[in-house]
Amino acid sequence: MNEALWALGRGTGVAALVLLTTSLVLGVLARSGRSVAGLGRFGVQELHRTAALTAVGLVVVHLGSLLLDPYAQLHVVDLVVPFLGADRPLWLGLGTLAVDLLLLVTVVSLLRDRVGPRVFHGVHLATYAVWPLALVHALGLGTDAWTLWMDVLAAGCLVAVAAAGWWRVQPAATDRGQVRVRRELVR
Ligand code: HEM
């Protein structure tokens, strides 16, 4: 049983990292207002949201299974308060910080209509911190860190996020929809 919990914890951690990467890249594409692979602007937004919520679900299973696995030596407090863990508290704490930010971003995103666009966009920028925290946590703590497949996967995620970050600061990444709306308001 412990073996199964451990495998589930590791598998969901890796899947969550891949989906966080996917969601970040789709978020940048959605912000640009372009169609991707035949999906219109709203299709890309929907895919971004689905990837993000699935990643959150996988993180919940990651935490639940490792909490039940005695080998991981986790306590409930480690899931929310960083750097208190019994085993390698620094790497564990970075994961906890990622979860705290992810929780904040998720709650604010679900309350988007109530908090308004300014707060939503401000808080949403925290997703740029969630991803590196999760990656460093995984490479510092994971059993599979430094295996070839995990390194190839981590490098692939890194390249995807770096490319998205680079694209995000280019003038071409301007939100086409917003530009159109602004032009119409000026007229
Ligand atoms: C966004 C949040 C998180 C993500 C994406 C994430 C992802 C990962 C990944 C990819 C691994 C490596 C698994 C492997 O080597 O096969 C891992 C390992 C681990 N994570 Fe997380 N994690 C997150 C948050 C947390 C938190 C908050 C805790 C507990 C406080 C935690 C506890 C652990 C533990 C104990 C391991 C080692 C499992 C092993 O023995 O390999 N994680 N995590």
Q: Above 80 in pLDDT, residue 172? A: no
Q: Please give the radius of gyration of the chain, using alpha carbons only, rounded to the nearest integer.
A: 18
66 lines ligand 1 (CB under 6 A): yes
Average pLDDT on 43-67 reads 96
Spacing of C-alpha 140 from chain mean position: 17
Q: How large is the average pLDDT for residues 86-102?
A: 96
At 178, the pLDDT band (50, 70, 90 cuts) reads low
Q: What is the pTM of this model?
A: 0.91
Exposure class string for 51-78: b at 16+ Cβ within 10 A, else e:
bbebbbebbebbbebbbebeebebeeeb
Q: What is the pLDDT of residue 168?
A: 87
Ligand 1 pocket test target in 74, 105, 141, 157 with most atoms within 8 Å of CB: 141
Residue 181 clears pLDDT 60, i.e. is over it: no
For residue 33, the model assigns a pLDDT of: 77
How far, in Å, is the centroid of ligand 1 from the Cα of 165? 24
The best mutation among 8, 12, 53, 62 to test binding of ligand 1, ranked by most ligand atoms within 8 Å of the C-beta, falls on: 62
**106 alpha carbon to ligand 1 midpoint, in Å?**
19
67-71, 111-115, 126-130, 176-180: the lowest-pLDDT one: 176-180
- Mean pLDDT (whole number) for 14-30: 95
Nearest to 96 by CA among 125, 123, 67, 116: 67
Find out whether the beta carbon of 141 lies less than 6 Å from any atom of ligand 1.
yes
Identify which has the larger pLDDT, 182 or 163.
163
Q: Check residue 31 and give its pLDDT.
A: 84
Q: What is the DSSP string of 137-156?
A: HHHHH-TTTTSHHHHHHHHH
Atom of ligand 1 nearest to the CA of 14: 10
Using the predicted structure, report yes or no on whether residue 97 has a pLDDT greater than 70: yes
pLDDT one-digit tens code per residue, 102-158: 999 999 999 999 999 999 999 999 999 999 999 999 999 999 998 999 999 999 999
- Is the CB of 78 inside a 6 Å radius of any atom of ligand 1? yes
Residue 141 contacts residue 85 (beta carbons within 8 Å): no
Specify the ligand 1 atom closest to the Cα of 71: 40
The verdict on the CB of residue 95 being under 6 Å from ligand 1 is yes
**Amino acid present at 46:** E
Q: What is the pLDDT of residue 169?
A: 86
- To the nearest 10 degrees (0 to 180), the angle between helices 89-110 and 127-141 is 150
